[in-house]
Amino acid sequence: MFKEIKVMATGEMARSVAEEVTKGINMVLSPEGNPLLQLLITHDGSIVEGKIDLTKRRYRVDELIRCIDGEGNISPLLLLTSLDIYYSDLDFVFGFTDMFREVSVVSLARLIEEGVPVEKVVERTVKTAIHEIGHLKGLRHCNNRRCVMTLSFNVRDTDNKDKIFCNRCYSRLSRSGGLNETRHPCKY
């Protein structure tokens, strides 16, 4: 069963966007009305200020996770940020999950494109966040191109996948106790 996940947003993230993303994830993962995610905004809206160099162009996501790991017992945690993140030899990532620390990070930096309405950015962010929550529950990438667990190499890949798990991934979540709902909204 999913335990409640805390959602935090870095200071540059608009609270309204964080609220819409949280609402969108809850609608998919908790359709029965028991919210899975709880939005927390820290005292000043930033949990990274003063801990990382905010003048950098890109941020190594595992270092970002380490700097927020000292915030107390707040895991599992989903961090929403507009900071551009990368990992190891990957030039950028849309999201990243540290299963040991139970922390997922989703970056809007590459999900935002000029001329794209905010609703589309929220939809992309919801898909990316659900994907990372799947990793928190032990799911790996899926070969089903419609499944939310398929790997996105670019925003078009994110746009083309659904925001729900395929039957196989859903079944794996159910067997592991990762879901608390009895019906699966997926049709494939």
Dist CA 123 CA 138 (whole Å)? 23
The residue behind tokens 């950015």 is 121
Dist CA 60 CA 141 (whole Å)? 21
Dist CA 59 CA 118 (whole Å)? 24
Parallel, antiparallel, or unpaired: how do β-strands 85-86 and 103-107 relate?
unpaired
Q: How many alpha carbons fall within 13 Å on the CB side of residue 73?
A: 1
Dist CA 97 CA 138 (whole Å)? 10
Dist CA 44 CA 142 (whole Å)? 38
Other C-beta atoms closer than 10 Å to the C-beta of 94 total 26
113 given a catalytic annotation: no
Out of 12, 19, 119, 132, which one is annotated catalytic?
Answer: 132
- DSSP H or E stretch at residue 79: strand 77-81
Catalytic residues: 132
